[in-house]
């Protein structure tokens, strides 16, 4: 475990050089890891663990995702089972279903959590808002979490490239006395770049805030506002999109990802630098009250309840697809399709 200085705050992090893959294999050598759900995080975590030499099985209902699991090499009756049978066979039972699906299958999973097993999550939602989800594990099982800071697709892609997605980890319940070793071994097993400690509450609140904020909700709102202003003032779709999205994602993001925002600023024109420095404060001052409103909505459980209520509606998927279709067919993202085709690597 290394203690590192993050902007003046000291934090403990775990890297593969400190908790090796060999040690992880030793810790989990007698475990059967049952991955329930093969949608978002399931494929990446299950396949990475399998490739790293761990004993993994998958639990999934029949359907499109079941067929995907078969294509990925999971064998029905050997390494691919129903959700209930996988939960029964597993010693570490991984709840990688959607938040709504976790609520629905919890009564089935709970009865197979015999003493000494571990219940694993990659999101703190179900446990943190247990008063709303009904997910309350018995005191005789470990409750642990590794939450990759990226999609399951990225986790798998970067693993195959020899890289790792950073992840947080938490121990909510240590019934066996070995929950910490279990969770660290799991984090190394899925190929995490490094692991930093959190709690189920902090992860759940920060995750929902990030998704609704800078990672998805706010970034789309910002893109659309700038694109609309440019279009309403006579700029073409191509120009508006390039100045709003394409230059950011293809040119500038790699710069501040590599060495920080100050380095990206330093590698732009003096005109761009001056304008960015002058306007970042008005944007900050306008956005921070919205972020506080968002944070309080998440912290209070309001956002969790909205998610639970909407996901439980019988026509939820249909309505969701309609909203996603409207987003996809908006002028800005139809323009994106043309711009992507013009990138040199796509010609």
Active site residues: 123
Q: What is the DSSP string of 5-41?
A: EETTEEEEEE-TTTS-HHHHHHHTTT--EEEE--SSS
Element housing 169 (H / E): strand 167-173
CB 150 within 8 A of CB 211: no
CB atoms within 10 A of CB 81: 21
Sheet strand arrangement including 167-173 = 2-6, 9-14, 195-197, 167-173, 142-148, 118-121, 92-95, 33-36, 56-59, 80-81
Distance CA 308, CA 301 (A): 10
Q: Which segments of 8-125 are extended strands (E)?
A: 9-14, 33-36, 56-59, 80-81, 92-95, 118-121
Round to the nearest angstrom and report the end-to-end CA distance of the chain. 47
Q: What is the DSSP string of 192-222?
A: -S-EEE--HHHHHHHHHHHHHTTTTHHHHHH
Nearest 5°: phi and psi at 147? -120, 95
Please give the structure tokens belonging to residue 209. 């805030």
């Amino acid at each position: 475990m290394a203690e590192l200085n993050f902007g003046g705050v000291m934090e403990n992090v775990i890297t593969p050089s400190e908790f090796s893959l060999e040690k992880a294999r030793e810790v989990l050598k007698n475990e059967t890891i049952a991955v329930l759900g093969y949608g978002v995080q399931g494929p990446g975590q299950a396949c990475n663990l399998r490739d790293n030499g761990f004993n993994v099985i998958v639990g999934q209902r029949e359907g499109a995702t079941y067929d995907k699991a078969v294509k990925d090499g999971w064998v029905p009756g050997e390494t691919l089972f129903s959700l209930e049978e996988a939960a029964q066979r597993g010693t570490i039972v991984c709840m990688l279903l959607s938040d709504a699906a976790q609520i629905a299958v919890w009564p089935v999973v709970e009865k197979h959590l015999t003493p000494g097993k571990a219940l694993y999550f990659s999101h703190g939602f179900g446990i943190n808002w247990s008063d709303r989800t009904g997910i309350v594990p018995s005191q005789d099982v470990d409750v642990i979490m590794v939450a990759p800071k990226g999609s399951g697709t990225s986790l798998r892609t970067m693993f195959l490239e020899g890289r790792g997605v950073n992840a947080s980890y938490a121990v909510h319940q240590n019934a066996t006395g070995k929950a910490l070793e279990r969770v660290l071994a799991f984090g190394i097993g899925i190929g995490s770049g490094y692991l930093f400690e959190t709690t189920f509450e902090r992860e759940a609140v920060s995750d929902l805030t990030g998704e609704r904020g800078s990672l998805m909700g706010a970034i789309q709102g910002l893109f659309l506002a700038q694109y609309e202003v440019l279009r309403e003032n006579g700029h073409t779709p191509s120009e508006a999109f390039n100045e709003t999205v394409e230059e950011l994602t293809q040119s500038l993001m790699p710069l501040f990802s590599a060495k920080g925002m100050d380095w990206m600023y330093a590698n732009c024109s003096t005109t761009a630098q001056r304008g960015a420095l002058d306007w970042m404060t008005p944007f900050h001052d306008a956005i921070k009250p919205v972020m506080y409103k968002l944070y309080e909505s998440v912290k209070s459980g309001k956002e969790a309840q909205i998610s639970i209520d909407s996901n439980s509606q019988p026509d939820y998927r249909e309505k969701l697809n309609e909203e996603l279709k409207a987003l996809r067919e908006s002028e800005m993202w139809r323009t994106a399709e043309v711009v992507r085709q013009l990138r040199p690597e796509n010609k």
